[in-house]
Structure 1
Amino acid sequence: MTADRRRDDIAAYVTQRGEARIDDLVAAFGVSRMTIHRHVEELARQGVLRKLHGAVSAQPSGVYESLFRFRETRNAPAKQALARAALAEVAAGQVIALDDSTTVNALAPLLADRGPLTVATNSLTALQALAGADDLHLIALGGDYHPTYHAFIGHLCETLLAQLRVNLLICSASAISGTAALIQDPQVVRVKQAMHRAASRRVLLVDSSKFGKVALHLFADLTDFDAVYTDDGLPPETAQQLISAGVRLKIVTLA
């Protein structure tokens, strides 16, 4: 197991329980206390976990929710339904940008037989899913690889996006508060905002569990998107408030 994979597993283990003792982590992962302490130090430095005396706890800030391997297990049926619904936005011949979200990564494999398309993405998962697909021109938005997001972010990625213009952006957000789409990490925000600026049409996919939540940084207002897809778990009164505020909301019924 790689160090990055073990760190992700440790973070998921702790966040699922809220708190864990160092001795429990040693037993669960079969490595030395020194190795566990080294991983915990790095996760604490990233702001994912909080060190306690002889134990470690999940940060209450929601930073841990940025972990790709943790996020991809959350609300999977809703993400799959939103991905299928978003196919209606895709037309042959388009240039499409996809962000690194697990919701949009559920869409990526569905595009393999929708060509001809050009797809630009910073998501390593999406790149792997689409590599070699017929009638599909794939653009890797490179930069600094970040294992937490399984994606490329940073200055190089933002600079490349500034040189592109795409027909359609399909993206997601960490949380929705009122009509604000929010993201925890400022580096991820900058990449998503660069994608937003590069796109003629912008579509947001957010499952209903993200509404009424908070993350640190503003990505965009929901009214800045041409369509906002969510599932029917959204309370009707919330949906009506958003529509009244000018949000172009599309409700997807879960099977």
Structure 2
Amino acid sequence: MSKAEDRRQDIADYVMRYGQIRIEDLVNHFGVSRMTIHRHVDQLAQQGIVRKLHGMVTVLPSGVYESTFRYRQSIGRAEKEALAHAVLPHVEAGQVVMLDDSSTAGAVAPLLAEVKPLTVITNSLHAGTALAEAGDVDYICLGGQYHSTYNAFIGLLCENAIARLRANLLICSASAVCDGTAYIQDQHVVRVKQAMMRACTKRILLLEHAKFGKIALHALDDLTAFDAVLVTDGLDAAVANQLREAGVRLQIVKTVAA
């Protein structure tokens, strides 16, 4: 990530922490010129991450900010890469693998060429772009209504397509985990993910440890519904023990900082 991208991410995180912040406070906090702050904030606003109004910067309504694919893709890159490599041993040549629209599953897509031949099904345009360039991968794109927020296809057409397919393995993620249940902010995204769970024999959930203790609006499923739950190191040991005692098949994944 470039220095400018790092700063935009820091600004987005700072605004999210406080909900709204004055431009002047951003200038003082980051120690850069007003022109630089305005330029970064304008770019974040174009991406649908923040709103700029009358000298203030505010987070867009809950869910829009957290769900924006470009933002999700830009954060936790080391964690996503660690999870992507850790899930590969679960993938076997000859399988049919389904990927959801998460940025975490998107990090898995370019690695699947290492396990071939494969058939890979996804509603993610980002993952599909990587799969289209991979050799010995039979790529199936799930259609439906395209949503730029998620850079993916969702909706009834997508759900119906999934219902007519069967796969060996689902690799997916969630927005938040609270009290042993995975949550997603958008109800339409939840419906697609739940359709994928029904269509797959084995289900693997990939999670960054920072998602634990967070909330989102709609329940996806209990963690016990997954055949494996891969979580990056940093998860509180007491929480990990509680999950295992509850029957969650938990695998801690070591993250190497980039």
Q: Same fold (TM over 0.5)?
A: yes
Interval containing the TM-score (normalised by the shorter chain): 0.7 to 0.9
Q: What is the Cα deviation at residue 161 of structure 1? A: 0.4
Give the 5 Å matches for 1:83-98: 83-98=84-99
1:199 corresponds to: 200
Instruction: Say if 2:136 is the partner of 1:135.
Output: yes
Equivalent residues of 1:117, 1:135 under 8 A apart? yes
2:153 corresponds to: 152
Gaps of 5+ in 2: 1-7, 24-33
The letter for the 2-side match of 1:243 is: R
Q: What is the Cα deviation at residue 132 of structure 1? A: 3.6
Q: What is the Cα deviation at residue 254 of structure 1? A: 2.0
Distance 1:228 1:30 in 2: 36
Distance 1:73 1:109 in 2: 17
Deviations 1:200-220 (A, max 9, x none): 000000010100100000011
Distance 1:147 1:62 in 2: 14
Instruction: Say if 2:67 is the partner of 1:66.
Output: yes
2:213 corresponds to: 212
- Between the two proteins, what is the percent identity of the paired residues? 53
Gaps of 5+ in 1: 1-10
Q: What is the Cα deviation at residue 14 of structure 1? A: 6.8
Distance 2:41 2:221 in 1: 43
Instruction: Say if 2:73 is the partner of 1:76.
Output: no
1:164 corresponds to: 165
Q: What is the Cα deviation at residue 16 of structure 1? A: 3.5
2:39 corresponds to: 28
The change in CA–CA distance for 1:232 and 1:21 in structure 2 (over 3 A counts) is closer
The change in CA–CA distance for 1:154 and 1:15 in structure 2 (over 3 A counts) is same
2:31 corresponds to: none
Give TM-score, length-normalised by structure 1.
0.83
Distance 1:200 1:134 in 2: 25
The letter for the 1-side match of 2:141 is: A
Equivalent residues of 1:158, 1:190 under 8 A apart? yes
Give 3-state SS (helix, strand or coil) of 1:130's partner: helix
Stretches of 4+ aligned residues off by more than 2 angstroms: 11-17, 19-27, 48-56, 59-63
1:250 corresponds to: 251
Give 3-state SS (helix, strand or coil) of 2:114's partner: coil
Give 3-state SS (helix, strand or coil) of 1:109's partner: helix
The letter for the 1-side match of 2:155 is: G
Aligned residue pairs total 234
